[in-house]
Amino acid sequence: MDPFSLRLNLNSGDVKGNNLIVESKTLFDLRYSIQNQKALTKLLKNKKDIEVYTVSTCEPGHTAAHLTIHVTRLKPGKIGEEFFFTKGHIHKKPTAEWYLGISGTGLLLLWNKNKHLVLPFSRGDLIYIPPGWAHRTINVGDEDLVFLSCHRSDAGYDYDFVVEKGAPKRILASDKELF
The residues that touch ligand PAN, with contacts defined as CB under 6 A, are: 25, 55, 70, 72, 86-89, 97, 135, 137, 149, 151
> To the nearest whole angstrom, how small is the minimum distance from the Cβ of residue 174 to Zn ion?
28
Best CA proximity match to 156, nearest among 111, 92, 107, 62:
92
> To the nearest whole angstrom, how small is the minimum distance from the Cβ of residue 151 to Zn ion?
6
> Could you tell which of ligand PAN, Zn ion, none binds residue 86, using a CB distance below 5 to 8 A set by kind?
ligand PAN
Nearer to Zn ion, 27 or 155 (CB): 155
**C-alpha neighbours within 13 Å on the C-beta side of residue 136:** 28
Mask for 69-108, x = binds Zn ion (CB under 5 A): ----------------------------x-----------
> Could you tell which of ligand PAN, Zn ion, none binds residue 73, using a CB distance below 5 to 8 A set by kind?
none
Contact call for residues 150 and 98 (beta carbons, < 8 A): yes
| Residues near Zn ion (CB under 5 A) | 97
